[in-house]
Amino acid sequence: MNPFLFGKVVRGEYFADREEEIKFIRNEVESGQNLVLMSPRRYGKTSLVVNAIENMNAKCLDINMELVTGEDDLSNILIKKTLSLSPFEKLKNYLKNLRVQPDFKYEPGSGELSISLGPEKKDIPVYLEDALNLPEKVGASQKENLVIVYDEFQEIRRISPGLERKMRAILQHHQNVVYIFIGSCQRMMGDIFGSRKTPFYKFARIMNLKKIPEEKFKKFIIGRFKKKGIETNGLEDDIIKRVDNHPYYTQQLCHEICNLNSGREIRKKDINKAIGEIIVEHNADYMRWWKQADNTEKRLLIGITEGDKKYTSGNFLRKYGINSPSTSSSAFKRLVEKGFVVDLNGEIKIEDPFWEIWIRENRKQML
Ligand SMILES: Nc1ncnc2c1ncn2[C@@H]1O[C@H](COP(=O)(O)OP(=O)(O)O)[C@@H](O)[C@H]1O
Ligand SMILES: [Mg+2]
């Protein structure tokens, strides 16, 4: 078994630190306070919430808004997940009170019930309202806290334009459910929860998740390598620096180092070799992303990988051949929106440090 994991929720020994954040979330949930948790992608938001809630006296439903295709779909998911919390005898009562009745189908394969809104049932606003209110009803009869986690919540704006307003109007009356909204598009999440003009303004307490403190993450790395009988010899420092202490990419790099290592210790060249392997393995993705950028975006990406971050300055525009500050600004916004570039209060980075190396090395070969 590789002691490092990436790309899925991490728990137990695969999960580092976050002690203060866990304490904070548990306190807030216990006092009924709704929360917003935001950070760039892959900082560990989902893992943190899962670890915080898992060992407390609470029931939790999670809905990944990325996978939701519309208001009818959201309602079906909510009803199905909420009903799964209740004992069978109680289901009848809850169902009876839905003003629009969904269709149920028993899936013999999985032994589960699937729920859908029949094609003739057009009254989606009523169905949605009842679906959003169902957890409040079920929560009232539960001893434990009921927590609903909406993950990748910024997707609400794609699902339907009026959904934000409808949800807020209903959720604001709930006393028996605590809501946690997780989001990875800082700008949109900030706009949804922090802008006076939007429905969710002041609905929840906002928490910005930072990276894991370096010292704690290093201890975790040393311990995980030890588990495999490998000494890091102080090179955990180099590892973290190469990926800017990013939780996901650090785990990815360590995972690869472990895969390649059959000895008892890490050497500097092992780190380079692992990075080389990752880049070869993902070459097709990196090329696809590169092709998704237009020419101005490509120029900006090159500038950023070369360490030039003042993308509207005269120097930058001249050096990389961009026409005007406004052209550069709008290309930059698009790069952030696509998730290629992260802008944390002016600290600008290529999101994937391995892609950054790929861009730099490929350009070097050409010029
Ligand atoms: N506390 C942690 N300890 C160790 N690794 C972590 C931690 N949090 C996140 N990671 C790494 O980052 C990856 C992405 O975490 P995830 O919770 O999916 O992030 P997000 O929800 O912010 O996108 C995980 O698969 C894991 O490799
Ligand atoms: Mg997540």
Please give the structure tokens belonging to residue 205: 């307490």
CA of 356 to the centre of ligand 2 (A): 22
Q: What is the pLDDT of residue 101?
A: 86
Continuous H helices in the chain: 19-30, 45-54, 71-83, 88-96, 124-140, 156-159, 163-171, 186-194, 214-227, 236-242, 247-260, 268-281, 283-292, 295-305, 314-320, 325-337, 353-366
Continuous H helices in 155-246: 156-159, 163-171, 186-194, 214-227, 236-242
Which residues, including other chains, have CB under 8 Å from residue 27's CB and lie 6 or more apart? Answer: none
Best mutation site among 36, 227, 249, 251 for ligand 1, i.e. most ligand atoms within 8 A of its Cβ? 251
Q: Which residue puts its alpha carbon closest to atom 24 of ligand 1?
A: 6
Per-residue pLDDT of the chain (367 residues; tens, 9 = 90+): 899 999 999 999 999 999 999 999 999 999 999 999 999 999 999 999 999 999 898 999 999 999 999 999 999 999 989 988 887 777 778 888 888 888 888 788 887 778 887 766 678 999 999 999 999 999 988 888 899 999 999 999 999 999 999 999 999 999 999 999 999 988 889 899 988 888 999 899 999 999 999 999 999 999 999 999 999 999 999 999 999 999 999 999 999 999 998 788 999 999 999 999 999 999 999 999 999 999 999 999 999 999 999 999 999 999 999 999 999 999 999 999 999 999 988 899 999 999 999 999 998 877 7
Q: Which amino acids bring their CB within 6 angstroms of ligand 1?
A: 5-10, 15-18, 39, 41-47, 184, 212, 247-248, 251
Best mutation site among 248, 253, 278, 352 for ligand 1, i.e. most ligand atoms within 8 A of its Cβ? 248
| DSSP 3-state of 237 | helix
Q: Among 60, 78, 85, which residue's Cα sits nearest to residue 147? A: 60
Hey, do 18-95+122-208 and 284-366 end up sharing a CATH topology, with the first three levels equal?
A: no
Q: Which residue puts its alpha carbon closest to atom 23 of ligand 1?
A: 42
Give the class (CATH, top level) of 18-95+122-208: alpha beta
CA of 240 to the centre of ligand 1 (A): 15
Q: Among 211, 160, 202, which residue's Cα sits nearest to residue 181? A: 202
The 8-class DSSP code of residue 338 comes to T
CA of 358 to the centre of ligand 1 (A): 23
Please provide the DSSP assignment of 258-291 as one string: HHH--SSB--HHHHHHHHHHHHHHTHHHHHHHHH
Q: For residue 5, give the ligand 1 atom closest to its CA.
A: 27
CATH of 284-366, one of 1.10.10, 3.90.1200, 1.20.120, 1.10.3470: 1.10.10
Contact 258, 291 (CB under 8 A): no
Q: What is the pLDDT of residue 222?
A: 97
User: Residue 39 phi/psi, 5° resolution?
Assistant: -170, 170
Domain segments of the chain as ranges: 18-95+122-208, 214-281, 284-366
* Rounded (10°) CA dihedral 62, 64, 68, 73: 0
* Rounded (10°) CA dihedral 36, 33, 44, 77: -80
Best mutation site among 42, 227, 249 for ligand 1, i.e. most ligand atoms within 8 A of its Cβ? 42
The 8-class DSSP code of residue 201 comes to T
